[in-house]
Structure 1
Amino acid sequence: MTTQRHTAGKAREAEEARDALAAALERAGLRLPSLQVDAATYADAVPRPLVDLGRCPPGVALALAAVIEKGAA
């Protein structure tokens, strides 16, 4: 039971991280079309969910890079 709660908590954390990133990208006028929680990362004995940023068109990648550079300056 404790393992199930731990797994559920980690899944919720990954989903919240995905949603927060999607919202921040949207505010910057960007969208990663394949942004998702990677279901395969639940297969381990101790699940470690990952947020999969996926693929995007080159224009989105360049715009994302510009936003990151601006924020890092």
Structure 2
Amino acid sequence: MEMTSSQRVRSTEDAVACLRAALEGAGVALPSLGVDPVTAATGEPYALVELGRCNVRTAVRLADALRGAAAGGDA
């Protein structure tokens, strides 16, 4: 059974919400985080997640959080 457009967007919105919560837990906020509207309107199984742009401080926090996760710690 093929997913409808609204089901694909909902699934992607759920993934965005989970990612936003995880990033916030690591002290990182990506203001432009969201569902890419172009791919949400296509027949692809899932829309792309738009991470957007961020400032240098946010980039450093994100890198620190990823390094901490890779090392098995809480960044």
Flag whether TM exceeds 0.5 (same fold).
yes
Instruction: Measure the CA separation in 2 of the matches of 1:66 and 1:27.
Output: 13
TM-score by structure 1 length?
A: 0.83
Following superposition, the deviation at residue 43 of structure 1 comes to 3.5
Deviations 1:37-69 (A, max 9, x none): 00011343x134111000000110111011101
TM-score by structure 2 length?
A: 0.81
Deviations 1:1-56 (A, max 9, x none): x76x5222111110001111111111111100110100011343x13411100000
Instruction: Measure the CA separation in 2 of the matches of 1:64 and 1:8.
Output: 30
Instruction: Measure the CA separation in 2 of the matches of 1:35 and 1:49.
Output: 13
Name stretches of at least 5 consecutive residues in structure 1 with no aligned partner.
none
Paired residues for 1:1-73 under 5 Å = 5-44=3-42, 46-47=43-44, 48-73=46-71
More helix by share: 1
Name stretches of at least 5 consecutive residues in structure 2 with no aligned partner.
none
Hey, which bits of structure 1, 4+ residues long, moved more than 4 A?
A: none
Matched length: 70
